[in-house]
Amino acid sequence: MPRYIASRLLQGLALVLAVVVLNFVLVHAAPGDPVETIAGASGGMSPELMAQLRTQYGLDKPLPVQLGVYLGKVIQGDLGYSYFFNLPVTSMILERVPATLLLVLSAVMLAFLVGTALGVLSSRKPNGLLSQFITVLSMVGFAAPVFWVGIMLVILFASMIPILPVAGMRSIDSTGGGIADVLDVAHHLVLPTVTLGLVYLAQYSRLSRSSMLDVLGSDFIRTARAKGLADRVVLYKHALRNALLPVVTVLGLQFGNVLAGAILVETVFNWPGLGRLAFDSVLRRDYPTILGVLLFSSIVVVVMNQVTDLCYRFIDPRIKTS
């Protein structure tokens, strides 16, 4: 196991390095000039000052030289300074990571737990009314775009049923501490979590239902029932554990998609996380901030994939590492 973990870590580091290089090339190949964006935001700038800013930011050097300088700084843990905010990118990311992780983890847990539970319920009687209702509900949730769901929830709870906040992470009069602050954040978290988790909830429901139906038709399930075991024991102790493997696989692989969906959700609900920071940075051509957010997201996705591989051994003991 230690040798296997070390091998996976080396593969993860190589993958992150490749992603960093690819992100750098793609971001700099995109149309737009950050210096011109800064000049437009400040109401105009002389050509001499614009040339000075390009020299200061290293934008006047060839792209391979810029890439080498950037990789050297990244290895040292320096992600540079934001062109627009004039703040260290690392501090900006660390400041917004808790908000994004809170939203993403809440949405993933909601989607995984509720989606798996709905899939298990629908697999007990595949042709029943409950199963058909869950199937239709899953299809609707899967087809609905994330931003559309968010906008509909904002309209619903901002004008028709104003019982939930639709913007921000805290109330204006929040004191920033204690149980009251925790409840206030949880109150603001409801709509973004439901919006982000609804699409993935539908996917987990469909996947867990299909996986459970396959497992329930296996020989060892028929043997367990022939031994006189209760349906609850057969369903949750024997069938569910084996059916969870593909669900966990999708859970780990889709973590990057959840982060991408968080950009839209944070924009709709003005959630102060990495998604909102990435959106603002793209509009302002803030290369260091964009690359920093992409690097952090890449690391999170790679780590989640490694954790998913390790979880296989705990879910299904038949899987052995070589």
Residue 310: C-alpha distances to residues 7, 225, 237, 249, 306 (Å): 13, 31, 21, 11, 6
Reported as a pLDDT band with limits 50, 70 and 90, residue 177 is low
pLDDT at 281: 85
CATH code for the domain defined by 101-273: 1.10.3720
| Whether residue 104 has pLDDT greater than 70 | yes
What is the CB neighbour count within 10 angstroms for residue 179?
7
Q: Which of 136-140, 228-232, 311-315 has the lowest mean pLDDT?
A: 311-315
pLDDT in tens, 270-303: 888 888 888 888 888 888 888 888 888 888 878 8
Q: What is the pLDDT of residue 13?
A: 84
pLDDT value for 319? 56
Banded pLDDT at 34 (limits 50, 70, 90): confident
Spell out the domain ranges in the chain: 101-273
Q: Nearest to residue 91, comparing CAs of 271, 288, 313, 259?
A: 288
pLDDT band at 321 (very low <50, low <70, confident <90, very high): very low
The pTM score is: 0.76
Backbone angles phi and psi of 88, in degrees to 5: -60, 130
